[in-house]
Amino acid sequence: MGSTSTSSALIHHFRLTTRNTASLRNRPCAVNFCNSWTKAGLRYGVTRKDLARVVRLSALDDNSEDSPTETTPGVGSAVEDRPDESFEQEDRSSSVYEFLYPRKEELPDDKEMTIFDHLEELRERIFVSVLAVGAAILGCFAFSKDLIVFLEAPVKTQGVRFLQLAPGEFFFTTLKVSGYCGLLLGSPVILYEIIAFVLPGLTRAERRFLGPIVFGSSLLFYAGLAFSYWVLTPAALNFFVNYAEGVVESLWSIDQYFEFVLVLMFSTGLSFQVPVIQLLLGQVGVVSGDQMLSIWRYVVVGAVVAAAVVTPSTDPVTQMLLATPLLGLYLGGAWMVKLTGR
């Protein structure tokens, strides 16, 4: 009853606005659609699709009253195929609208799929990713002792000794190290499955940026791991060793040490994704390069706070060592967005 009353009221409003004009065959219904119908839609609280549907019903109703055997050629099909065309031309100027509602000709691999087809494809790709990561974890577990010796290197020269403080602590530590390393080695397969799943829904313009974004994201992540291993981890651990020198002997738990190192490395790799996020936001049109550069004072404070949150230690040395590259990456990403014309 509510939708019928709304449709009747809207049809009545349309007839009042076109009572003293030419016939519908000489003046198509889209002429008065933008001005009068916008007010009508706001008055009765309906959507644009509802307005377009009522326009079509009103046009057919008026045609049947004027001439029972003659209909307006093409009006019904045009409105039915593109019910929101008059509104879309205004909204198309927005980059966010272009990103959310691309044109059909911009989707070369677009195809109709039910929700169950999407879920089935997603299940298969998740299964392949899990198999790849599981195989990588098993391979890393076979060389877990070599990986542990490699990760102990940053503090081995400082005279630090590692202890097993509970039964099975070293075994569970090897499982943890193998899990992190296996996830790292299996990440290319995960990334490929994600790209293959979302690729049919990307436009031609978005596909041009897909390769550089994926390559840049992977390069920055591995650069963050290397920066953490060669710079952050030795600086943080040396600070702790030198601070306790002459007072206590450095006998560290093997489990707590690797939890510290692995969390620091992966959090640093993730924090190095700042330019990628900036580039995506710039391409969508959410923020411009000039706007990013204009808030650099807030970014300095945000980089220090983010470094304090990301790093598992509380020392100021590690915090400043991470905040400095984060600030540099942000400024570099802002200039990249500006150079791309965004």
In the chain, domain spans: 115-340
pTM for this structure? 0.63
Residues of the chain short of pLDDT 70, as ranges, are 1-111, 342
pLDDT at 206: 72
pLDDT at 319: 85
- Give 189-197's long-range contacts (Cβ < 8 A, gap of 24+): 189/128, 189/129, 189/132, 189/133, 190/129, 190/132, 190/133, 191/218, 193/125, 193/126, 193/128, 193/129, 194/125, 196/125, 197/121, 197/122, 197/125
pLDDT at 288: 87
What's the rounded Cα separation, in Å, for the pair 76 and 2? 24
Please, what's the largest Cα pairwise distance for the chain? 104
The residue written with tokens 């992977």 in the block is 218
What's the rounded Cα separation, in Å, for the pair 236 and 313? 8
pLDDT at 18: 46
pLDDT at 106: 60
What's the rounded Cα separation, in Å, for the pair 125 and 130? 9
pLDDT at 68: 44
- Give 93-99's long-range contacts (Cβ < 8 A, gap of 24+): 94/285, 95/284, 95/285, 96/284, 96/285, 96/286, 98/285, 99/284, 99/285
pLDDT at 227: 92
